[in-house]
Amino acid sequence: MEHSSMTNRLTRGRRTILKAGAIALAAISLVACSTSGGSQPDDTTAAGPVDGGTIRVGATGGGSGDTLDAQNPLTTIDFIRVGALFEQLVQMNADTGEPEMVLADSIVPNDDATEWTITLKPGITFQDGSPLDSADVLFSLRRIEENGFPGLSTMGPIDLANAQIVDDLTLTIPFTAPYSIFVEGLADVFATRIVPEGYDPANPVGTGPFQYVSFTPGQESTFAKYDGYWQDGKPYLDELVIIDFADETAQINALQSGEVDLIDQLSAASVAAVESGGGNVVVSQTRGFVPLTMRVDEEPFSDVRVRQALRLLVDREAMNQQVYGGLGAIGNDVFGAIDPAYDGAVPQREQDVEEAKALLADAGYSDLQVDLYTAPVGPGAEAIASVFATQAAEAGVTVNVITQDATQFWSQSYAQVPFAMSFWNTSAYLTMAQQGLAEGAPWNETHWANAEWQTLYDEAIATVDQAARDELVQGLIQFDYDNGGYIIPVYFPGIEGMSDQVGGVTPNITGIPVNGGSWQNVWIASGE
pLDDT tens digits for range 17-48: 454 444 344 433 333 333 333 444 444 344 67
Query: Per DSSP, what are the bridge partners of residue 292?
Result: 421, 487
As a whole number of angstroms, the distance between CA 161 and CA 143 comes to: 12
Contact 100, 87 (CB under 8 A): no
Of 23, 21, 40, 194, the residue nearest 120 (C-alpha): 194
Three-class secondary structure of residue 243 per DSSP: strand
Cis peptide preceding 49, ω within 30 of 0: yes
Q: What letter would DSSP give residue 377?
A: S
**What CATH number does domain 292-487 carry, 1.10.1040.10, 3.10.105.10, 3.40.190.10, 3.30.70.20?**
3.10.105.10
**Residue 220: alpha-carbon gap to chain centroid:** 23
Query: Residue 57: pLDDT band by 50, 70, 90 thresholds?
Result: very high
Average pLDDT of span 257-286: 93
Q: pLDDT at position 64, please? A: 80
As a whole number of angstroms, the distance between CA 115 and CA 109 comes to: 6
| Superfamily for the 87-202 domain | Dipeptide-binding Protein; Domain 1 (3.90.76.10)
Q: State the Cα angle at 18 between 38 and 518, rounded to 5°.
A: 50
| Superfamily for the 38-78+208-286+493-528 domain | Periplasmic binding protein-like II (3.40.190.10)
Per-domain residue ranges of the chain: 38-78+208-286+493-528, 87-202, 292-487
Q: pLDDT at position 2, please? A: 35
By DSSP bridging, strand 54-60 and strand 262-263 are: parallel
Three-class secondary structure of residue 98 per DSSP: coil
The amino acid occupying position 449 is: A
pLDDT tens digits for range 290-340: 999 999 999 999 999 999 999 999 999 999 999 999 999 999 999 999 999
Average pLDDT of span 403-427: 92
Q: pLDDT at position 47, please? A: 63
Average pLDDT of span 107-136: 97
